[in-house]
Amino acid sequence: MEEDRLLGVIATVRELMDESIVEKWAFLSNKNDPRTTQLGQYKYTGEWLGAIAVKGVLEMRQIATEIVKARFSALCSMVFSFETTTPDHLLPVEYFQVVKKLWYGIPTNYSLERMAAMMEPSSEKDAFDLDADKRMPGFSVALPALPFHGEVISTALATAKQVSEKWNVQGFYNFAFLGGMVVEGYFRVYFDRNDPAQIANAHAWNEDINKAFEEIGLYPYRLNNQMMPYFFNRPDDSFAKTITAIKQALDPNGIIAPGKYCPIFKANIT
């Protein structure tokens, strides 16, 4: 689908969920994502890929699939369905093979392998080097929690694009369900770990995008060490107070990940 169809797609997915035709799970990804790209196209083209799931006996799945295809026919350039038993060679996107394996509880290194493929293979390798595969890029991530609502997601995308343009980096954006009608925004940039300028740029992007999301009311559900002091050294902030109260109730002695998420929290350690 094209990005300008995202609002309609999200509204349609919500309707299908409300009607209990599909499960309350969905995945939306820009197609330049290393996991879903075709032919190594990492530049953002405005093309997106989505996935939803149906359950039930075969007859119920077939009926639900036909309804889904009819609803999305005018919104998407292609609507494809597959079963968990569909042979891999019949799947149009390699990533669907990984989704099948995850359904059966089989983990893979697919994401890492695709990240490595973004960089040119290194011509020099030392068998005694503990970090032999230096071509693996680093990546910096912002992870806000968002309501599964088209306008909110569109605003988040526009914000991320502005920040990425400011720092002259290629952004990669996904949305996946966390639970209920809340999705994880998976915003990230990749960089060469051997280039100090790219490393600094990625860290600057991360700080900027987290602050920009806060300005539009979106807060991280997971946070890196770099941004913890910014979000939690706020004694009078309701967000920090809530997290600190949870931390104090569950971990009064500060045993779990000391200092993380609650730098202002003073554990009762003797």
Taking only the tens place, the pLDDT of each residue in 88-121 is: 888 878 888 888 888 888 988 888 788 877 765 5
* pLDDT tens, position by position, 231-263: 877 778 887 788 788 888 988 888 888 777 666
Domain interval for residue 103: 3-119+137-219
Is 191 within the bounds of a domain? yes
Are residue 163 and residue 148 in the same domain, yes or no? yes
Predicted confidence at residue 241, as pLDDT, reads 81
For 128, phi then psi, to 5°, come to -100, 5
197-217: average pLDDT: 95
Is 144 within the bounds of a domain? yes
Q: Looking up tokens 């526009």, which residue turns up?
A: 158
Where is pLDDT greater, at 125 or 67? 67
Total of domains in the chain: 2
Enter the tokens of residue 198.
């790219």
Please check the confidence at residue 194 and state whether its pLDDT lies above 70. Answer: yes
**CATH number of residue 252's parent domain:** 1.10.45
The least confident of 49-58, 110-119, 126-135 is 126-135
| CA atoms of 74 and 97, how far apart (whole Å) | 26
138-144: average pLDDT: 93
Is 124 within the bounds of a domain? no
Are residue 49 and residue 101 in the same domain, yes or no? yes
Please check the confidence at residue 267 and state whether its pLDDT lies above 70. Answer: no
Is 128 within the bounds of a domain? no
Q: Over the range 171-198, which residues count as b (16 or more CB within 10 Å of their CB) and which as e?
A: bbbbbebeeeeebbbbbbbbbebeeeeb
Please check the confidence at residue 270 and state whether its pLDDT lies above 50. Answer: no
Spatial CB neighbours of 46, under 8 Å, sequence gap ≥ 6: 2, 3, 4
Is 126 within the bounds of a domain? no
pLDDT band at 197 (very low <50, low <70, confident <90, very high): very high
Predicted confidence at residue 39, as pLDDT, reads 65
Enter the tokens of residue 71.
């609803």
| CA atoms of 23 and 65, how far apart (whole Å) | 12
Predicted confidence at residue 131, as pLDDT, reads 62
